[in-house]
Amino acid sequence: MPDPLLFAYILTILSALAAIVFMRTPPQDLVTYWGDSIWNLLAFSMQMVLIVISGFVLSTTPLFSRILNRFSSLATTPTTAILLVCLGTLTASWLNWGLGLIVGAILARRIAVKVQNVDYRLLVASAYSGWIVFHGGLSGSIPLLIATPGHFLEGSIGIISTSQTLFTVFNLFIVVALFIAVPVVNLMMLRGIDDPVLVDAEKLRKEDAIKVDDHKDHTLADKIENSRILSLIIGGAALYYVLSSLLTGRAGLNINSINLLFLAAGIILHGSPRRFLDSLNEGVKHVGAIVIQFPFYAGIMGIMSMSGLSEALSDFFISVSTAATLPIWSFLSAGMLNLFIPSGGGQWAVQGPIMTAAAQQIGADVPRVAMAVAWGDAWTNLIQPFWALPILAIAGLKARDIMGFCMMHTLVSAIIIMTGLLVF
């Protein structure tokens, strides 16, 4: 698979060609549209970066490390190993998608050391398959974005609270059904493996926790960096602000409150600023793709909107959809687009204006359509290896080792998600 940045290049070119062929837009105008729009998502890009970093920082705290160790110690057989990895990753991913990626990888490694006769490929695939619920959880970038004041579609769709997206009956049905289906499918595949692929447990015994250089307090700077009091003051103040804002209704559950909540918890649980900074520096290594790709997504959005291509695509979906079926078309098209744009936030920048405009014109439920796009992104992430890279890197596997297992989840989850979008 080419690097996802190359897909951003390709999609930029395809968008421009489509505008030239179908909208008769001069190439020089397209370059202007692209350049004028390329920095329009800088604030949104930073929000996406912080989602990844906050999840990583929290997952590497000593408390989380102890919890994962105790949790993994419950595994005694291949069956319990698969179940624990699935449930652990599903729960962590619902709380925070960055947290889910890291927790799943660490659990798979530690349980593989404990239960050495389980197929390691399926164990890692179980961790990645549990990640599918993230966009229906507390850190889903699309539902949190449209609940955040100032988002780029506020002028057309307004502020849509999470009570209309994450906490609806249809979304909760999908999440609960996947919590059941993911472990069941993995256990069924476990029974079909006659010759399990095992790993050398000794190679997995290294701790995944961040290695901290324990400085001695020789200087004033050392004392400040190792001060737990500073972490408690700053982290406590941030935690108080988020919780009081949510409880008093001063602010809702949105992308900013979730990021601050997890960062505050990370600051407190790491203990010292030095340990927090060491974890932060490691987490930053995972966000390079977001930093460079999101400007291209903004440029694509500019090409499509200013050339009229977005409006033409919206008219197409209106012509083939009803108010009831538009969420299904949104889900399927989002799944296909996700193969080119492996980021829910970047995908929403391109697809959001199209699908919400179509929903408004035919009277479809805009929050349901937005969640259909979100679930479409989560759906084909199972066969899009971009987000699997952190798990695979920690596990020491290649994408081809788990994709066969993940394909089965792609088929099963499509049925569950479309049922939720249509029936409930």
pLDDT in tens, 141-165: 899 999 989 898 999 999 999 999 9
Q: Choose the weakest-confidence range: 22-31, 51-60, 276-285.
A: 51-60
User: If you average pLDDT over residues 271-286, what whole number do you get?
Assistant: 86
State which H helix or E strand residue 128 sits in.
Answer: helix 120-129
Q: What percent of the chain has pLDDT over 90?
A: 45
pLDDT value of residue 55: 76
User: If you average pLDDT over residues 274-280, what whole number do you get?
Assistant: 90
pLDDT value of residue 201: 66
Tell whether the model's pLDDT for residue 215 goes beyond 60.
Answer: no
Coarse DSSP helix, strand, coil percentages of the chain, rounded to the nearest 5 percent? 75, 0, 25
In a 3-state reduction of DSSP, which class is residue 76?
coil
Integer Cα distance of 62 and 85 in angstroms = 20
Q: Which residues of 11-44 are buried (b: 16+ CB within 10 A; e: fewer)?
A: bbeebbebbbeebebeeeebeebbeebbebbeeb
pLDDT value of residue 68: 83
Could you tell me which of 23, 7, 14, 17 has the C-alpha nearest to residue 306? 23
Q: Choose the weakest-confidence range: 62-71, 83-92, 194-203, 282-291.
A: 194-203
Integer Cα distance of 120 and 197 in angstroms = 6
CB of 422 within 8 A of CB of 324?
yes
Tell whether the model's pLDDT for residue 385 goes beyond 70.
Answer: no
Integer Cα distance of 174 and 170 in angstroms = 6
Total Cβ atoms within 10 A of residue 141: 24
Integer Cα distance of 88 and 67 in angstroms = 11
CB of 44 within 8 A of CB of 152?
yes
Contacts of 68 (CB under 8 A, 6+ apart): 88, 103, 106, 107, 110
The band of 394, judged by pLDDT with boundaries at 50, 70 and 90, is low
Give 213: exposed, middle or buried? Use CB within 10 Å, 0-12, 13-18, 19+: exposed
Q: What percent of the chain has pLDDT over 70?
A: 92
Integer Cα distance of 171 and 378 in angstroms = 13
pLDDT value of residue 360: 94
- Return the residue matching tokens 């999609």: 11
Integer Cα distance of 274 and 167 in angstroms = 38
pTM value is 0.76
The band of 65, judged by pLDDT with boundaries at 50, 70 and 90, is confident
The band of 208, judged by pLDDT with boundaries at 50, 70 and 90, is very low
Total Cβ atoms within 10 A of residue 188: 11
Nearest-10 Cα torsion for 241, 246, 250, 255: 80
Tell whether the model's pLDDT for residue 414 goes beyond 80.
Answer: yes
The band of 207, judged by pLDDT with boundaries at 50, 70 and 90, is very low
pLDDT, the chain, mean: 86
Integer Cα distance of 102 and 15 in angstroms = 34
Tell whether the model's pLDDT for residue 392 goes beyond 90.
Answer: no
Q: What are the C-alpha distances in Å from 233 to residues 193, 230, 238, 326, 385?
A: 52, 5, 9, 49, 40
The band of 130, judged by pLDDT with boundaries at 50, 70 and 90, is very high
> What confidence tens digit (pLDDT) does each residue in 325-377 have?
999 999 998 888 887 676 777 788 888 998 999 999 999 999 999 999 999 99
CB of 416 within 8 A of CB of 174?
yes
pLDDT value of residue 255: 72
The band of 233, judged by pLDDT with boundaries at 50, 70 and 90, is very high
